[in-house]
Amino acid sequence: MALMRKSKQLKWVRKHLLGLRDLSADEISFILDTAEGFEQVSTRSVKKAPPLRGKVVVNLFFEDSTRTRNSFALAASRLSADIIEFTKKSSSVSKGETLLDTARNLEALGIDILVVRHGAGGAARFLSRNINVCVVNAGDGFCEHPTQGLLDVYTIRKIKGSLEGLKIAIVGDIAHSRVARSDMWAMTKLGAEVIFVGPPTLMPGHVNRLPVRVSYSLDDIIEEVDVINMLRIQFERLGGNPFPSIREYSHYFGLTVERMKRTKRDILVMHPGPINRGLEIESEVADGPRSVILEQVTNGLAVRMAVLFLVNQAAAQGD
Partner 1 sequence: MKVIQDSGQIEQTIRDLAGRILSENRGDTEIAAIGIRSRGEILAGRLSQELSKELGKVVPCGTLDITLYRDDLNSPEGAGQPVVRTTEIGFDINDKIIILVDDVLYTGRSTRAAMDALIDLGRPRAIRLAVLVDRVGREFPIQADYAGYKSDAAPGELVQVRFVESDGRDEVVIE
SS3 315: helix
Least distance between partner 1 and beta carbon 161 (Å) = 16
Q: Please report how close the Cβ of residue 104 comes to partner 1 at its closest, in angstroms.
A: 24
Select from 9, 66, 90, 208 the one that contacts partner 1 (CB under 8 A): 9
- Nearest-approach distance from CB 40 to partner 1, in angstroms: 5
Spatial neighbors of 186 by CB under 8 A, at least 6 apart, are: 20, 28, 149, 150, 152, 153
Instruction: Tell me: does residue 110 bind partner 1 (CB under 8 A).
Output: no
Kindly state whether residue 41 participates in binding partner 1, applying the rule CB under 8 A: yes
Toward partner 1, which CB reaches closer, 5 or 104? 5
Q: Give the chain's end-to-end CA distance (angstroms, integer).
A: 36
Give the number of residues in contact with partner 1, rule: CB under 8 A: 31
Separation between Cα atoms, residue 51 and residue 307, nearest integer Å: 12
Q: Is the peptide bond before 272 cis (omega within 30 degrees of 0)?
A: no
Binding to partner 1 by residue 44, rule CB under 8 A?
yes
At residue 117, the 3 state secondary structure works out as: strand
Give CA–CA dist 174/123, Å, rounded: 20
**240: contact with partner 1 by CB under 8 A:** no
Of 40 and 283, the one with the shorter C-beta distance to partner 1 is 40
Residues 227 and 209 sit within 8 Å (Cβ to Cβ): no
Q: Which stretch binds partner 1 (CB under 8 A): 33-41, 120-128, 186-194, 270-278?
A: 33-41
Q: Is residue 38 within the footprint of partner 1 (CB under 8 A)?
A: yes
248-307 positions binding partner 1, by CB under 8 A: 306
Q: What are phi and psi of 159, to 5 degrees?
A: -90, -45
Cβ-count burial 280-292 (b if 16+ within 10 Å, e if not): bbbeebbeeebbb
Least separation, in Å, of the C-beta of 154 and partner 1?
Answer: 14
**74 contacts partner 1 (rule: CB under 8 A):** no
| Residue 82 touching partner 1 (CB under 8 A) | no
Nearest to 170 by CA among 211, 206, 209, 122: 211
Sites of contact with partner 1 (CB under 8 A): 1-3, 5, 9-12, 34, 36-41, 44-46, 48-51, 54, 79, 306, 309, 312-313, 316-317, 319
